[in-house]
Chain A
C-alpha cells in the first residue's frame, strides 16, 4: 500500500481540509484575532489533520501489507481467513466478515465434493470386489466344462477382468488416500509374476520372453507395480505383429536408482505421438488404426508412478521397438 495511492484515494478530504485553512485564517483576521495566535491555530489544525491522515494510512498499511504477505506465502489461498486477525478499523471488519462467510461456504462446498469423491471411490472399490466374485465363478465354470469351444468366453472374461482392474487403479490413482505399502521386493520375482499373469496370451501370441540382470531389490508396493508392468506388457502384446516377437526385461543399476527396461520389437510409436503417450485419452496414430486403444493405460501408469516416486519414460522407433523404462529410487535402507 503506497502513500501516493492512499492520498489519491482520499483526495477529497485532503483538498477540503487544506482549502478550509485559508478561510479560517481570513475569518480570524476579520475578528481581529492576534496574527501569531492565528498562525498557531492554523498550524495546529494542519498538524491534527496530517496526523489523522498518516495515522489512518499506517494503520491500514500495516494490516493490508501483512494480509498480502500471508496471502502470497499461502499454498491453499482459500484458507487465508484462518490465518489473519480481525482488523481494527470498521470497513476492514466489514470485509473481513464477508470474506469469512465466503470462505466458510467455499470450504463447506469443498468438503462436500471431497466427501462425494471419497464415497465414490469407496463405492468403486467395493463394486470391483463384488464383480470379481461372479467373474471368478464364471471362469471356474468354463474351466470345469473343459470344452475348447468356450476358450473365447474365457478370454473375454479375462479382458473384463483387466478392464475392471483398470477401474480400480483409476479410482486409487486419483485419490489422496494412499493405500499402498512400500517394502523390499525382488525385481525378478515381480517380473516373473507379471509374466505368469499374462502367460496364456504371451504364449498364444508366440512372444519370446528374455530376462536379463534382474537380481535387484526395489522398494515399492508390489500390487501397484504389478499393475503398472501388466499395463506395459499388455500394450506390447497388442502392438506386436511381426514373426519373431521379443519382449525383453532388463534390470540395471544407475547412480541413485535401480532401473527396469521393458522392450518389445513391435510396431513402435510415431515420433509425433511419443511425447503425448502419457496424456489421458491420447491414442495417437496407432490407436486410430488399431482402434483398440483407450488412452488410459499409460496415463494411469504415469499417474501411479508419480505417486510411488518411480520415474517412467518411453522411447520408441516406428516399426522397430518400444521401450518403457522404470527408475526406482534406492531406499536409504538399501545403502
Chain B
C-alpha cells in the first residue's frame, strides 16, 4: 500500500482528501507543523506528497525546494492559484505535477496513479483475478485456461474501471467519463459497441456473464 503525505493548511480539505484517498486504498498522513519546516521530518515510508502553495510561514515553493535538496520524492502541487506562472515555477522547482482546486477527483486519482506507477512500478505488473480469469491491464490482456485475448484501448479501460470498482455499479455516464479522461471522447453508442465487443471477447475465452448489465443503472463485475 502506498503512502501519501498531504501538506495543506486547510483542515477541512485535508480531512476530506484523506477520507477520499483512503477509499482508494492509499495510506494518508498529514503534515501540519508549518512553524519551521524541516525536510528531515518527512518519514522514509512516504511515496508521494500532495503540496499546497499558499501556506502559513513558508510557501509551498520553498517547501518543494527544501524537499528536493534531500530527495526525489514525487510531489504534486495542489493549489487554487491557477496560472501559468505558478505552474512553470512549480515544475522548475522539480514538482511532478500541478493540479488546481477545486479538483476533479478523477483527474487527481489518475495523476497520482500514473506518477506512482512511473516511480515505483516500472517492473511490476498489475493483475486482477475475476472468476478464474486473469486480467493484466498494463498489457491489455485477459487470460483463461491458457487462452489469451488482447483488448483494444477502450475495452481495456472499460474492464479496468469495472475491475477497480468491483462489486459496485458503474453507471454508463461514469464509464464514459473514465474513457474521456484518456482523451477518448466516445459517445453513448460507441460505449455500447465497446462493451459488447469486450463481452464477446470474454465469451470466446469460455466464460459468460462476467459483466452484468443493471438495467437503467449501469454495469457491474461481481
Contacts and interface: CB of A to CB of B under 8 A. Distances in A.
A292 interface: no
Contact of B16 (A132, A137, A197): A137
Nearest to A211: B185
Nearest to A245: B187
A1 interface: no
Contact of B107 (A196, A221, A223): A196
Interface stretch (A31-39, A54-62, A140-148, A315-323): A140-148
A209 B190 CA distance: 12
Interface stretch (A114-122, A198-206, A235-243, A257-265): A198-206
B85 A137 contact: no
A132 B82 CA distance: 10
B188 A144 contact: no
Interface in B16-32: 16-17, 19-20, 23
Interface stretch (B38-46, B61-69, B123-131, B174-182): B174-182
Contacts of B10: 133, 137
A196 B180 contact: yes
Contacts of A130: 80
A199 B177 contact: yes
A47 B104 CA distance: 91
B176 A203 contact: yes
A140 B105 CA distance: 8
A139 B185 CA distance: 24
Centre residue among B81, B82, B102 by max chain A CB count within 10 A: B102
B88 interface: yes
B104 A197 contact: yes
Interface in A127-176: 128-130, 132-137, 139-141, 143-144, 157, 161
B36 interface: no
A139 B102 contact: yes
Given A133-B101, A223-B82, A208 B187 contact: yes
A307 B3 CA distance: 44
Contacts of B188: 206
Contacts of A141: 12, 16
Interface in B86-143: 88, 101-105, 107
A129 B103 contact: no
A161 B101 CA distance: 10
B105 A199 contact: no
Nearest to A132: B80
A222 interface: yes
A196 B83 contact: no
B167 interface: no
Contacts of B17: 140
Contacts of A143: 16, 20, 105
Contact of A192 (B82, B183, B187): B183
Contacts of B102: 132, 135-136, 139, 157, 161
A46 interface: no
A144 B19 contact: yes
A82 interface: no
Contacts of B187: 206, 208-209
Contacts of B84: 180-181, 183, 221-223
B173 interface: yes
Given A140-B13, A206-B188, A195 B80 contact: no
Centre residue among A130, A136, A161, A200 by max chain B CB count within 10 A: A136
B180 A203 contact: yes
A91 interface: no
A183 B87 CA distance: 13
Nearest to B79: A129
Nearest to A146: B23
22 contacts: A129-B54, A130-B80, A132-B101, A134-B12, A136-B80, A136-B103, A140-B13, A140-B16, A140-B17, A141-B12, A143-B16, A179-B83, A180-B83, A181-B85, A196-B183, A199-B176, A199-B180, A200-B173, A204-B173, A208-B187, A209-B187, A222-B84
Interface of A: 128-130, 132-137, 139-141, 143-144, 157, 161, 179-181, 183, 192, 195-197, 199-200, 203-204, 206, 208-209, 211, 221-223
Given A128-B80, A136-B102, A140-B20, 9 more contacts: A132-B101, A133-B10, A136-B103, A143-B16, A144-B19, A144-B20, A196-B104, A199-B181, A200-B173
The 5 residue pairs across chains A and B that have the minimum distance between CB atoms: A140-B16, A132-B80, A136-B102, A209-B185, A137-B12
Interface of B: 10, 12-13, 16-17, 19-20, 23, 54, 80-85, 88, 101-105, 107, 173, 176-177, 180-181, 183, 185, 187-188
